[in-house]
């Protein structure tokens, strides 16, 4: 069958696309990376040489217009999503946008509306739900492994939002960037939770700015932090189960990702090694216990979750490859198994609900 031609906007030699999208595409026979673009000719050509891509551009218009590009991937800062995604949609191209879709609800709504009007296939980069361990956990729960789900707790680390960064990443500490701890690691984790256990019925939240400044190591200066870096979201799911999610912006010397699902008959636990607490890019381990079992033990992930995706493709590229593998089927068969911009809009609504819940929380002081 004809390969699906891909063009990546933002495919710099050392950025997210280089560690996530490019190796994922190279591992899948359905795709061919045909073009990349960055804002500078030098970096575009360097990326083309590194990735073995024929066409490199220093503007997105040429990439979008490329006749061999069927799918435009937007892998840049969220502040540029609106302009770039809009241009691809207006050209009638299928679009894969990284999450978040926009910097706020207005941008997300406008892009979802434009995609609907254009009638093209869209994909939102919420790859955590495609992790084999997450998908197997969902199937185990559906098959009754834990019985009735009573509650779930997830504690994770965003890692990037610590006390030091560099100028190129300073924007993620800005509350207006749409790319802080809540928007990125928390919402990626919540999407995975919802994919396994269902949507929220109600939520409450505490968004706390623990760090008030961050040091830029390449300039030896400090800048103010305006975005929350300690995020607590609690609530009940539509099933009636309780849910509690906490993310710290930096990392812990203890566990950096632990997700428990507790039921009347058993328990499931998903963890990740090391300091990586970003569920969507972690190599997750699944453990479980039920009945008379005293402690959880490892659960093997069946091979069917790796159909089309090499099992030895590890790190950030694996879950991205899982998205692309499912997307290839959707594009060829006209199905819709991979969430698109309408799903992204729903997640933006949840994001706004969490922010509103934090602003309006009715807590009682214990010091008065």
Average pLDDT over residues 235-254: 97
Which pLDDT value is given to residue 1?
55
Homologous superfamily, domain 4-126+317-339: NAD(P)-binding Rossmann-like Domain (3.40.50.720)
Q: Domain 129-306 falls in which CATH fold?
A: Dihydrodipicolinate Reductase; domain 2 (3.30.360)
**Could you read off the pLDDT of 334-343 as tens digits, one per residue?**
999 999 999 9
pLDDT at 363 over 50: no
pTM: 0.96
In three-state form (DSSP H/G/I as H, E/B as E, the rest C), the secondary structure along the chain is CCCEEEEEECCCCCCHHHHCHHHHHHCCCCEEEEEEECCCHHHHHHHHHHHCCCEEECCHHHHHHCCCCCEEEECCCHHHHHHHHHHHHHCCCEEEEECCCCCCHHHHHHHHHHHHHHCCCEEEECHHHHCHHHHHHHHHHHCCCCCCEEEEEEEEECCCCCCEECHHHHHHHCHHHCCCCHHHHHHHHHHHHHHHHCCEEEEEEEEECCCCEEEECCCCEEEECCCCCEEEEEEEECCCCEEEEEEECCCCCCCCEEEEEEECCEEEEEECCCCCCCHHHCCCEEEEEECCCCCCEECCCCHHHHCCCCCCCCCHHHHHHHHHHHHHHHHHHCCCCCCCHHHHHHHHHHHHHHHHHHHCCCCCCCCC
Which pLDDT value is given to residue 210?
97
**Could you read off the pLDDT of 317-329 as tens digits, one per residue?**
999 999 999 999 9
Q: Confidence band (pLDDT; 50, 70, 90) for 364?
A: very low
**Residue ranges covered by each domain of the chain:** 4-126+317-339, 129-306
**Could you read off the pLDDT of 142-195 as tens digits, one per residue?**
999 999 999 999 999 999 999 999 999 999 999 999 999 999 999 999 999 999
Are 4-126+317-339 and 129-306 equal in CATH topology? no
Q: Confidence band (pLDDT; 50, 70, 90) for 365?
A: very low
């Amino acid at each position: 069958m004809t390969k699906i031609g891909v063009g990546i906007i933002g495919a710099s030699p050392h950025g997210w696309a280089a560690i996530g999208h490019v190796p994922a595409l190279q591992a899948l026979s359905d795709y061919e990376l045909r073009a990349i673009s960055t804002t500078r000719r030098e970096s575009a050509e360097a990326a083309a040489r590194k990735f073995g891509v024929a066409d490199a551009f220093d503007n997105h218009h040429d990439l979008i217009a490329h006749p061999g590009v069927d799918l435009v991937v937007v892998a840049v800062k969220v502040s540029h999503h609106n302009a770039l995604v809009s241009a691809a949609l207006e050209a009638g191209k299928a679009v894969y946008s990284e999450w978040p879709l926009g910097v706020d609800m207005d941008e997300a709504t406008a892009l979802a509306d434009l995609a609907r009007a254009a009638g093209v296939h869209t994909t939102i980069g919420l790859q955590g739900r495609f992790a084999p361990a997450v998908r197997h956990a969902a199937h185990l729960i559906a098959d009754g492994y834990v019985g009735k789900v009573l509650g779930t707790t997830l504690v994770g680390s965003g890692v990037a939002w610590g006390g030091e960064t560099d100028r190129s990443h300073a924007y993620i500490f800005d509350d207006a960037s749409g790319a802080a701890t809540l928007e990125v690691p928390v919402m990626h984790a919540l999407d995975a939770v919802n994919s396994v256990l269902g949507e929220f019925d109600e939520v409450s939240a505490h968004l706390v700015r623990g760090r008030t400044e961050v040091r830029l190591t390449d300039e030896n200066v400090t800048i103010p932090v305006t975005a929350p870096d300690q995020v607590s979201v609690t609530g009940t799911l539509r099933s009636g189960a309780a849910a509690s999610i906490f993310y710290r912006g930096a990392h812990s010397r203890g566990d950096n990702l632990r997700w428990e699902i507790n039921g009347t008959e058993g328990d499931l636990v998903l963890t990740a090694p090391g300091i990586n607490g970003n569920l969507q890019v972690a190599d997750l381990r699944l453990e479980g216990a039920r009945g008379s079992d005293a402690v959880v033990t490892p659960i093997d992930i069946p091979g069917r979750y790796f159909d089309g995706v090499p099992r030895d493709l590890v790190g950030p590229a694996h879950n991205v490859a899982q998205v692309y593998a499912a997307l290839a089927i959707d594009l060829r068969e006209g199905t819709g198994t991979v969430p698109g911009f309408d799903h992204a809009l729903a997640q933006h609504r949840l994001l706004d609900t969490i922010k509103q819940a934090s602003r309006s929380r009715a807590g009682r002081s214990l010091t008065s």
